[in-house]
Amino acid sequence: MDSSVTSTDTTVSAFVPAPASPYQGDIARYWDQEARPVNLRLGDVDGLYHHHYGIGDVDLAALGDSGDAAYDKRLVAELHRLESAQAEVLLDHLGTIGRDDLLVDAGCGRGGSMVMAHQRFGCSVEGLTLSAKQADFGNRRAHELGIEDRVHSRVCNMLDMPFETGQAAGSWNNESSMYVDLEDLFAEHSRVLRVGGRYVTITGCWNPRYGQPSKWVSQINAHFECNIHSRREYLRAMADNRLVPQAVIDLTPDTLPYWELRATSSLVTGIEEAFINSYKDGSFQYVLIAADRV
């Protein structure tokens, strides 16, 4: 990690547009004030700051002896590896992207996935966030990597994207769609994507087969001040907005090891039990949906 990047995250943008609704104002304030060690310490491992969870098997050999003084540092590095593996899977599903293409990260957080997308495809990546603090952090990191001409975050409502119709080759929401109405969200992704462009989301959603959101899902909503949708709502809203799913993948078994490891770490936030229990009882699912704009 570049030593000039710190986790203090104190600067704010000179211009911050007014939120479209009181709720969006609440969300902007929430993320402007957020400074959880679980997000910052994991990003400090290699300078990729994510705001999502991990997938894949835990590398027990990399963790080593739990009684070792350096064990917690290795555990944090392993959690971060699983986070980056999740982002790689999302990028895998974007299809063929050229250097001259534009990708859009709707709900970009501090920009880790955007950096990974540019490093993989060489393309331009625009990120949208309601948080001025997050946008500044991501732009500082892009500048220090020397990619600020290709990777840029801005304070913007993802339901009103500042792009021309058909401008984007691909777009995604990585654990950010629970903050908006899905019909409005997918209408806007459909507008900015070119015909044949690819949209991908990885998200937690409640399982319609459970009947209604469980108490665990309600706890997650309260913790993050969000509104988790059902899997059925995602598919219905995509169909309404010319987004045709090409892949629907249940990642629940793949994310459970991340949560079980995180629950043993020094970075617990108190929400780990709700995720683990809801994944195990089937009331909550972690899914990837990739859809083409037709």
pLDDT of 168 over the 90 cut: yes
Domain extent for 272: 4-293
Q: What's the confidence (pLDDT) of residue 125?
A: 98
Across the range 220-241, mean pLDDT stands at 97
Nearest Cα neighbor of 171 from 150, 201, 138 is 201
Quote the CA–CA distance of 75 and 258 in Å, as a whole number: 11
DSSP string, 8-45: ------S--PPPSSHHHHHHHHHHHH---HHHHHHHTT
pLDDT of 15 over the 90 cut: no
Query: Residue 175 in contact with residue 202, Cβ under 8 Å?
Result: yes
Q: In CATH, what number is assigned to the domain containing residue 89? A: 3.40.50.150
Q: What's the confidence (pLDDT) of residue 36?
A: 73
Domain count, the chain: 1
Quote the CA–CA distance of 199 and 46 in Å, as a whole number: 27
Phi-psi region of 122 (alpha: psi -120 to 50; beta: other; left: phi over 0): left
Indicate the pLDDT class of residue 4, thresholds 50, 70 and 90: very low
Quote the CA–CA distance of 134 and 239 in Å, as a whole number: 32
Residue type, 105: D
Nearest Cα neighbor of 203 from 222, 223, 183, 180 is 180
pLDDT tens for 91-121 read 999 999 999 999 999 999 999 999 999 999 9
Long-range contacts of 118-123 (CB under 8 A, 24+ apart): 118/147, 118/150, 118/151, 120/91, 121/91, 121/94, 121/97, 122/150, 123/97, 123/98, 123/99, 123/150, 123/169
Quote the CA–CA distance of 158 and 21 in Å, as a whole number: 13
DSSP string, 245-294: EEEEEE-HHHHHHHHHHHTTSTT--S-HHHHHHHHHHTSEEEEEEEEEE-
Q: What's the confidence (pLDDT) of residue 17?
A: 53
pLDDT of 11 over the 50 cut: no
pLDDT of 2 over the 80 cut: no
Q: What is the DSSP letter of 164?
A: -
E-strand ranges in 101-235 read 102-106, 124-129, 151-155, 168-174, 193-206
pLDDT of 12 over the 60 cut: no
Q: Are strands 193-206 and 284-293 parallel, antiparallel or unpaired?
A: antiparallel
Partners of residue 217 on adjacent β-strands: none
Give the other-Cβ count within 10 Å of 270's Cβ: 8
